[in-house]
Amino acid sequence: MRIVVDGIEVEVTRKKVKNIYLRVLKDGRVTVSAPHYVDDAHIERFVRSKADWISKNRAAIAAAPRNAAAECKTGDTVYVWGERLQLVVIEGKKPGYKVDGQNLILNVASGSTKEKRLAALNRAYKEMLESEAGAVFAHWEARTGLRCREWRTKRMKTRWGSCNSRERRIWLNTELARYPKDCLNLTVLHELAHLKVANHGPEFYAILDRHMPDWRSVKKKMRALSG
């Protein structure tokens, strides 16, 4: 069922739930899950009360650093540490990258396919992250007293990072290089905290509260940006 509340189109689904749940999807659509007994008027009032929240989340999604580099060619939009840049692909030069003003210059082999250009872009993000992460780890390890044996980077689909507490090894998602640096800071602190507390219980969140009091606002931003 679809309803329109003050110009906001909402997809409503009734389920076996106790409360009303409102979501803004990564394509900007607004959805509501509501108990079967809740009438339309109540849902409309609920959506209206969340109008500012919906607007803020839609704005964050619209500004999210999602690469528009579907073909990974000159003119595509890319993001580096949350800043929107234009991709410039140069063929026939030694592989590598450089940020030059508002451009990300990516050198690739002559005749590179789309897949090879995308692989080169992902390697660039990996190098960017590795160049920054060392200092971030040093900062949070000194501040918390929690130290990993080693950290590594790889591209991950569903996680910002992961921690093997037994091996004291932390992995970071190379996609972090696309997002503002406070996202990297929170991810490193989060994974270091798991060296002491394996779960997400009160003791774990106490570590985040103590060392990064605004971590919740950063987490909300990460969720909004990642859709």
Concatenated DSSP letters for 87-120?
Answer: EEEEESS-SEEEEETTEEEEEE-TT--HHHHHHH
More confident position, 28 or 111: 111
Q: Please check whether the domain covering 128-226 is classified as CATH 3.40.50.300.
A: no
Q: Where along the chain do its domains lie? A: 2-62, 77-126, 128-226
Burial class (CB in 10 A: 0-12, 13-18, 19+), 168: middle
Torsion angle of the four alpha carbons 3, 53, 13, 63, in this order, in degrees rounded to the nearest 10: 90
Over the stretch 125-157, which tens digit does the pLDDT of each residue have? Answer: 999 999 999 999 999 999 999 999 999 999 998
Specify the DSSP class assigned to residue 160: S
pTM of the model: 0.72
Over the stretch 15-44, which tens digit does the pLDDT of each residue have? Answer: 888 899 998 886 788 999 999 998 989 999
